[in-house]
Structure 1
Amino acid sequence: MKQKKKKLNIQKILFFILFIISAVYCINRYTVNTNINQSLLPNSINNSNYKIIKQDTNKNYSGIGQEKINNKDGYFTTFTTKEKNKRTYIEYKQNGNSSWSNSEYWNGTMAENGCGITVMSIILSGYNKNYTPEDLRQKYYPVLNYDNLSKELSSVYGIDNSDFYYDSTHLSNKNIINHLKTDRPIIICVWNKPTDNRWTTASHYMALLATDCKNMVYVSNPNGLENNSKSSGWYNINEITPYLAKALYIEEY
């Protein structure tokens, strides 16, 4: 009889241990899944954590640079490069007061997920190809396959480019600045590695349009509104390169 009771007690203890292990496993799994889901939310970043450091003008840059524009749908600035290969880019926004900000795109809205095609429209505008983000949204709905971005730029719009680089050489300060010296832009994708940053907590496309050759680069950010911590403007390149996932060099002059 005592032996039977002993067996029952052991079974109860084993059951209790298994219950605790199962509970801990479920809690850990829920926590991991929650963190993964949160990391997938594009650009879900609290800008108040970062100071406004962008510069609208740069005395070391000889081009016209940023100009304020009023009463336009989806943009409030343009950027014009130096005289030799002079181009004017319309700095479209995916969000804010743009008429397309709440339009459906990539299982969400343009404001949430439209950075890639908005950057594409910024680049196209500099090459006298007038496509708004809404034009591109309709063309590529429900989403552009960004693995095909290089091919689209070259074969559809006639803009030669390198395709995306992932190696440390092409993502280095030196290579990026040397390319921007030629007044040819670079499409970049930043991500949340090694850490979250002022640009994103997931991943985000932007355009680099110019350099002053003194470690400052002009960032055209499709979700940077007026006077916040990630507005379009001049930034030290070290605000960008630590978070680069890939970069596409525009080769067309």
Structure 2
Amino acid sequence: MKDRIASSPAEILSASSQGGLGRGNLGAVVARAGVGKTACLIHIGLRRLLDGERVVHVSLKEGPDKVSAYYGLILAELVRDLPADEQKRLQTVMEKNRMILAYLNQSFDVARLRANLVNLRDHLDFSADLLMVDGLDFEHVKREDLEAFTAFAAEWGVEIWFSVLSHRHLQETNARGVPQPLDALDDYFSVILHLRPEPSGIYLGFLKDHAAPAVPELAWRLDPNTYLVLS
């Protein structure tokens, strides 16, 4: 399993200047539709879950059953070479340490998320180390929205990762190479990962790495089925 976990996109974060995102910070995975943003978020979440940390996955597009099934598929790929009893144990660890909150039909806002997390903490003794926000429409996100998330991350001492949809027909980027719609908001993010499809495969690299200069040419090729790093 160590070899397969070492091939997870989550391990790419160890190559960042600070060894990862860090508590109190915002991170983003940017890609066009269908390239694998959710898969990469789940890989990041799973790595932390299996280390015993607690993850809240916030889904704005899919119901909890579908999100849970996707976690199960990716975990099964990571642990497929392990004995059946160890696979079952790790699935139990994942399910114990993960909560899925679904906000469908535009029912999401930071105040509601905060109320739900307070409820989890006070009534279920579940305090998150990491939040994954999948499906937020950055075409309509304002700076004050990200200010609220930044304050929330600092107050709760959590990392917050977002999926961000970019578009094929919008080619313009800012000086850092960050595409629309994140180009005017990237100052709120400490780490920005970019998934890009090429004829030779799907590549994952850094567009932003804390205060260190990112090297967009440095990228890892991923298996398009498992999203594990190819050697």
Same fold (TM over 0.5): no
TM-score, normalising length: structure 1? 0.30
Greater length-normalized contact order (CA 8 Å, ≥ 6 residues apart): 2
For the pair shown, the structure with the greater C-alpha radius of gyration is 1
TM-score, normalising length: structure 2? 0.32
